[in-house]
Chain A
Amino acid sequence: MTAAPPPSTGRELSNPPTDGISNLRFSNHSDHLLVSSWDKSVRLYDASANALRGEFMHGGAVLDCCFHDDSSGFSASADHTVRRLVFNYNREDILGRHDAPVRCIEYSYATGQVITGSWDKTLKCWDPRGASAQERSLVGTYAQPERVYSMSLVGNRLVVATAGRHVNVYDLRNMSQPEQRRESSLKYQTRCVRCYPNGTGYALSSVEGRVAMEFFDLSEAGQSKKYAFKCHRKSEAGRDIVYPVNAIAFHPIYGTFATGGCDGYVNVWDGNNKKRLYQYAKYPTSVAALSFSRDGRLLAVASSYTYEEEINRKHEPDAIFVRSVNEVEVKPKPKMLPNPAT
């Protein structure tokens, strides 16, 4: 990068993964960024310093990763393994396995458990505090109607989106059966779910350039607030080209959220006022993942072709951009501020 002010896409991190980026996450404690990739690696970056702090190789593509605390994290791999990664000692061990590639992983601070979703149509909960022997760390296995595509946690609630547009909402304190069994409001395949920071609902995006805003309250009053909107579309010759919306990330302070799509754009939305607040400059290729830092001042964008054309075509190199976030881009308009985030 040059010494000039950072380009409109943000500062590009050095030593990016050598293949597609499946997810990236900022830590809750610092500006460390954990990145999982199809090159079978999990990388730990110091985003502010633009330095690679650690790297872990897996047996297969890594499809998701998350932090535990600032010194350790977890990864979900296509080699069916769930691993714990210890950054300082560059050590990893296998927490457990699924019967198929593991697609999603979350760590619940409320229960102290790791939750994974896999294409073997199950959720598994793991206790990472016990011994590393895999048999003892598995807390439970919960069958899903279909292969798990996306997951999100807030407080004690877990939202699981699967193939076939199913959505299961769980209370982590009672996983024996879902609190709610729902179906996506959108007609097309689910790409991503993210819970609102205030815990009242979740946003769900599909491959058809649409996002649905849903609420956990099943009463009529609660459900009357739900809506869906179109986004990440391009109008050409009177027709819409729709792009999958791959990523959703909520701003930790303002409760507004950013979406990233295969059109290479990141949009920031005010869900309460149903407005778009900002659109960032176009990224070189599809936006595969998004993450806000803990203070909401940084936004990490994974610009990485997501195989939406189902072939390995020539594409821009995979890159991670970290940009500063200005208030004007993410703050809702003065007349209506959402409830403070929990």
Chain B
Amino acid sequence: MSTAQSNLLSQMETTCGSLLHELQIIWDEVGESDVEKDRMLLELEQECLEVYRRKVDQANRCRAQLRQAIADAEAELAAICSAMGERPVHIRQSDQSTGSLKAELRAILPQIEEMRKRKSDRKNQFIEVKKEIESIKNEIYSPGGYALNDKAVDENDLSLRYLEELNRELQALQKEKCERLQQVMEHLNYLCSCCSVLGLDFEQTASEIHPSLGESEGSKNISNDTIEKLRTAIQKLREVKMQRMQQVKAEVSRLEELKASKMKELVLKKKAELEDICRKTHLIPESNSSIDIAINAVESGAVDASCVLEQIELQISRVKEEALSRKDILEKVEKWMAACDEESWLEEYNRDNNRYNAGRGAHLTLKRAEKARALVNKLPGMVRLLSMLEDYIVLRQEKELERKRQRDQKKLQGQLLTEQEALYGSKPSPMKNQSAKKGPRLSCGGAGASNRRLSLGGSMLQTPKPDMHPPAKATPNTRNAKKSERLNQDSLRDDGFAGLSSGRRGLDLAGLPAQQHSLNLQFAREIESPMMRKPFSPISSTDSSRSNVTNILDDLNKKHNEMLQKTTLTSNNSTPFTTPSKMISMTDVENRTPQATPFPVPSSTPSTVSIPMQMALTPAPKQTATTVPMQLALTTVPMHMAIVPAQNAAKSVDEEIEYSFEERRAGFVVPRSRLVNAMQV
């Protein structure tokens, strides 16, 4: 007991005592009995005890409340902590002797406040996360159709771990949303391109799948449903695209087929044209096997019709050329045949003794007889003409064979030369443009070949006697001299025939009429006209061809000499002709040919030089009405169709050899033999 309390007690005791004392006094005065006195004192004591007891209970109760509060607080704290998975900020230490309960309670209250706050925060976080998850799930799975059962936050688990788990879930969902969006955008892009290719309206198509897709801005629906619909739509459009492509392809192939069949038709038509021309001009086409094979190939579709067409066209043009050059010959032959007919008529007429009797058609017959006689006189010339033709054509054929042989040689040369070229390392000329014209130049009909011979031969005649025609020193001109000069000028071009013509003029003077002379010249000029187009012609350089032609020359020379004799004989026998003033005078002929014979050169021609081809050296047949068979006069001109492939082959080999412009212009080809020699060196 403290001093205060003892003081209080002592005070109380004093107060109680005094009170008691007072009470005694009172009682004494009153005269209370002892019983009464005892009773009152007991009462007093009991009442005092009652008061004490009440105070004590009160204090007790207070203490109990405090204890309860503390216990409650502690329990709550523990609950929060366990829910949040955390330990409290301040851990209550059981052995903590902070002293009074009130102090304890004071300590624990802030703790609990804080934990309550933190729990609340945490809870809010959970709510957030869950809300977001719900919204994405709504977007992905179906709008509003997904019932989120666990919207309410579980108070029991507010742990960070769980929060993290939820966060992860949220992230995963966000990623999926993103992917789906990307997918949708891709699909939309593809859809857009399909629409543009097919000509559809993209916005409308997209909106049909889902309204949100048709808009250029704003979020797009990414549900499974939408994506599925997009996929289907794209598939459908793809199919449409394929269909249309196939349609186009079908159209293209149909058109190609049409073109091929038209080409085939054209080829056949051209072939018919070719045959027609050949038939009309009596040209017998050489074996057309190659072109038939080509046509068959075209029909079976194996070969491109256009190149076969080209070849046929080429052939047609050549045939036409050929026909043209023969036109005159044909005409002359026709004339000749007519003349023969007239001749036989005339014979009959002459035999008819009544021919001078005046009759109904007498004057007509007389005229006819006159004409017939004139024609008959022309016959010998015509016949000579025709035999010239014979020889001419025979020689042409031989030249063809020559050329074929040469071409084969060339092919081999070309191969060898390519090897040599590799050694010397030359490169092809940059302006290489091998045209097919080289072919025709080489083998353009027999006419070309024979004219070549003519030209070179003529030069042999000309050059030993240049004083024949120095243009600057022309003799004072009579009309005849002028004409001779002009003729000489012409002969600068057609050398061979000038030589021939001068020779023939000599013959003419021996006693043949002038008409023949002009006929021959005309014929000469017409034959040489193809040559006019080619200012220069190639020279054969192979020995074999030279010797061949030498032999022919000898033959022809002999025949010519025979003819000379015969014509002089016939001239003596035939009826005299007047020499028209048009004819060249004897003196001029003598001036031109200082040597005795009109054909001086053949005897002195060296065999190594190119040799002239002379014509008309067969003796003139007697004047009987012989019919020259048409076929002989027009013996097959070889069609060059068969040659073209060979030429192309030879040409392609030649192409690998380098040539200068001059070589090509001159038609010079590197000979094989020289190549071999070079390689041996």
Chain A residues proximal to chain B, CB less than 8 Å: 18-20, 22, 38-40, 52-61, 63, 78-80, 90-92, 99-101, 103, 119-121, 143, 145-147, 149, 163-166, 187-189, 191, 207-208, 242, 244, 306-312
What separation, in Å, do the CA atoms of A57 and B459 have in the docked complex?
8
B393-410 near A? 1/0 per residue, CB < 8 Å: 000000000000000000
Minimum CB–CB distance for B647 against chain A, Å: 15
Number of A-B contacts (CB under 8 A): 130
Known: A121-B674, A121-B678, A188-B429. A57 touches B466 (CB 8 A): yes
Minimum CB–CB distance for B240 against chain A, Å: 43
Minimum CB–CB distance for B604 against chain A, Å: 14
Minimum CB–CB distance for A316 against chain B, Å: 15
Pairwise interchain contact B426-A189, C-beta atoms closer than 8 A: yes
B291-305 near A? 1/0 per residue, CB < 8 Å: 000000000000000
What separation, in Å, do the CA atoms of A311 and B435 have in the docked complex?
7
| Interface SS of B by simple majority | loop
B622-662 near A? 1/0 per residue, CB < 8 Å: 00000000000000000000000000000000000011111
Pairwise interchain contact B462-A103, C-beta atoms closer than 8 A: no
Minimum CB–CB distance for A190 against chain B, Å: 9
Pairwise interchain contact B658-A99, C-beta atoms closer than 8 A: no
Residues of A within 8 A of B472 (CB): 52-54
Q: Which of B276-331 contact A (CB under 8 A)?
A: none
Residues of B within 8 A of A306 (CB): 661-662
What separation, in Å, do the CA atoms of A268 and B106 have in the docked complex?
119
Known: A166-B424, A244-B661, A310-B435. A61 touches B666 (CB 8 A): yes
Minimum CB–CB distance for A158 against chain B, Å: 20
**What would 27 A/B residue contacts be, using CB atoms closer than 8 Å?**
A19-B535, A53-B472, A57-B459, A60-B666, A79-B456, A92-B463, A99-B541, A101-B666, A121-B678, A143-B681, A145-B424, A147-B660, A147-B670, A163-B660, A164-B421, A164-B425, A165-B425, A166-B424, A187-B427, A189-B660, A242-B430, A244-B661, A307-B664, A307-B665, A310-B433, A310-B661, A311-B437
Closest 4 CB pairs of A and B: A164-B426, A164-B424, A307-B665, A19-B535
Residues of A within 8 A of B535 (CB): 18-20, 38-39
Pairwise interchain contact A78-B536, C-beta atoms closer than 8 A: yes
Residues of A within 8 A of B671 (CB): 100
Pairwise interchain contact B670-A308, C-beta atoms closer than 8 A: no
Minimum CB–CB distance for B179 against chain A, Å: 51
Partner of A92, one of B466, B534, B668: B466
Pairwise interchain contact A99-B674, C-beta atoms closer than 8 A: yes
What separation, in Å, do the CA atoms of A11 and B462 have in the docked complex?
33
Minimum CB–CB distance for A45 against chain B, Å: 12
Minimum CB–CB distance for B164 against chain A, Å: 69
* Residue with the greatest number of chain A CB neighbours at <10 A, chosen from B434, B470, B662, B668: B662
Pairwise interchain contact B431-A308, C-beta atoms closer than 8 A: yes
Pairwise interchain contact B434-A310, C-beta atoms closer than 8 A: yes
Tell me if B663 counts as interface (CB < 8 A to partner A): yes
Minimum CB–CB distance for B461 against chain A, Å: 11
Pairwise interchain contact B661-A308, C-beta atoms closer than 8 A: yes
Residues of B within 8 A of A60 (CB): 456, 536, 539, 666
Pairwise interchain contact B678-A58, C-beta atoms closer than 8 A: no
Pairwise interchain contact B658-A19, C-beta atoms closer than 8 A: no
Tell me if B467 counts as interface (CB < 8 A to partner A): yes
Pairwise interchain contact B466-A207, C-beta atoms closer than 8 A: no
Tell me if B460 counts as interface (CB < 8 A to partner A): yes
What separation, in Å, do the CA atoms of A54 and B473 have in the docked complex?
10
Pairwise interchain contact B426-A101, C-beta atoms closer than 8 A: no
The residue in chain B whose Cβ has the minimal distance to the Cβ of A119 is B668
What separation, in Å, do the CA atoms of A165 and B674 have in the docked complex?
19
Minimum CB–CB distance for A262 against chain B, Å: 8
Minimum CB–CB distance for A243 against chain B, Å: 9
Partner of A100, one of B430, B438, B459, B541: B541
The residue in chain A whose Cβ has the minimal distance to the Cβ of B431 is A308
Pairwise interchain contact B668-A100, C-beta atoms closer than 8 A: yes
Partner of B662, one of A40, A63, A309: A63
Pairwise interchain contact A119-B663, C-beta atoms closer than 8 A: yes
What separation, in Å, do the CA atoms of A58 and B455 have in the docked complex?
11
* Residue with the greatest number of chain A CB neighbours at <10 A, chosen from B421, B437, B463, B668: B463
Pairwise interchain contact A56-B660, C-beta atoms closer than 8 A: no
Known: A20-B665, A164-B421, A307-B664. A244 touches B431 (CB 8 A): yes
The residue in chain B whose Cβ has the minimal distance to the Cβ of A78 is B666
Residues of B within 8 A of A187 (CB): 427
Partner of B536, one of A61, A244, A309: A61
What separation, in Å, do the CA atoms of A53 and B472 have in the docked complex?
8
Pairwise interchain contact A146-B536, C-beta atoms closer than 8 A: no
Pairwise interchain contact B674-A120, C-beta atoms closer than 8 A: yes
Minimum CB–CB distance for B669 against chain A, Å: 10
What separation, in Å, do the CA atoms of A119 and B670 have in the docked complex?
8
What separation, in Å, do the CA atoms of A120 and B675 have in the docked complex?
10
Pairwise interchain contact A149-B660, C-beta atoms closer than 8 A: yes
What separation, in Å, do the CA atoms of A147 and B661 have in the docked complex?
13
What separation, in Å, do the CA atoms of A164 and B426 have in the docked complex?
4
Tell me if B209 counts as interface (CB < 8 A to partner A): no
Pairwise interchain contact B662-A189, C-beta atoms closer than 8 A: no
Tell me if B145 counts as interface (CB < 8 A to partner A): no
Pairwise interchain contact A90-B466, C-beta atoms closer than 8 A: yes
Residues of B within 8 A of A207 (CB): 429-431
B369-388 near A? 1/0 per residue, CB < 8 Å: 00000000000000000000
Pairwise interchain contact B663-A147, C-beta atoms closer than 8 A: yes
Pairwise interchain contact B492-A57, C-beta atoms closer than 8 A: yes
Tell me if B476 counts as interface (CB < 8 A to partner A): no
What separation, in Å, do the CA atoms of A59 and B463 have in the docked complex?
8
Known: A56-B466, A100-B668. A163 touches B658 (CB 8 A): yes
Residues of B within 8 A of A191 (CB): 660
Pairwise interchain contact B467-A90, C-beta atoms closer than 8 A: yes
B522-552 near A? 1/0 per residue, CB < 8 Å: 0000000000001110010100000000000
Tell me if B471 counts as interface (CB < 8 A to partner A): yes
Minimum CB–CB distance for A64 against chain B, Å: 10
The residue in chain A whose Cβ has the minimal distance to the Cβ of B660 is A149
Pairwise interchain contact A146-B424, C-beta atoms closer than 8 A: yes
Minimum CB–CB distance for A264 against chain B, Å: 15
The residue in chain A whose Cβ has the minimal distance to the Cβ of B662 is A63
Residues of A within 8 A of B492 (CB): 57
Pairwise interchain contact A91-B466, C-beta atoms closer than 8 A: yes
Minimum CB–CB distance for A241 against chain B, Å: 10
Residues of B within 8 A of A147 (CB): 660, 663, 670
What separation, in Å, do the CA atoms of A119 and B459 have in the docked complex?
22
Residues of B within 8 A of A91 (CB): 466
Other than the given A60-B456, A100-B668, 12 more pairs (CB < 8 A) read A38-B536, A52-B472, A54-B472, A57-B459, A60-B536, A60-B539, A78-B539, A165-B424, A188-B429, A207-B430, A244-B431, A309-B433
Minimum CB–CB distance for A13 against chain B, Å: 15
Residues of A within 8 A of B541 (CB): 99-100
Minimum CB–CB distance for A149 against chain B, Å: 6
* Residue with the greatest number of chain B CB neighbours at <10 A, chosen from A52, A119, A207, A244: A119
Q: Which of B496-538 contact A (CB under 8 A)?
A: 534-536
Minimum CB–CB distance for A260 against chain B, Å: 14
The residue in chain B whose Cβ has the minimal distance to the Cβ of A144 is B678
* Residue with the greatest number of chain A CB neighbours at <10 A, chosen from B437, B659, B665: B665
The residue in chain A whose Cβ has the minimal distance to the Cβ of B681 is A143
What separation, in Å, do the CA atoms of A260 and B539 have in the docked complex?
30
What separation, in Å, do the CA atoms of A39 and B661 have in the docked complex?
16
What separation, in Å, do the CA atoms of A307 and B471 have in the docked complex?
30
The residue in chain B whose Cβ has the minimal distance to the Cβ of A55 is B471
Residues of A within 8 A of B467 (CB): 90
B193-232 near A? 1/0 per residue, CB < 8 Å: 0000000000000000000000000000000000000000
The residue in chain B whose Cβ has the minimal distance to the Cβ of A120 is B674
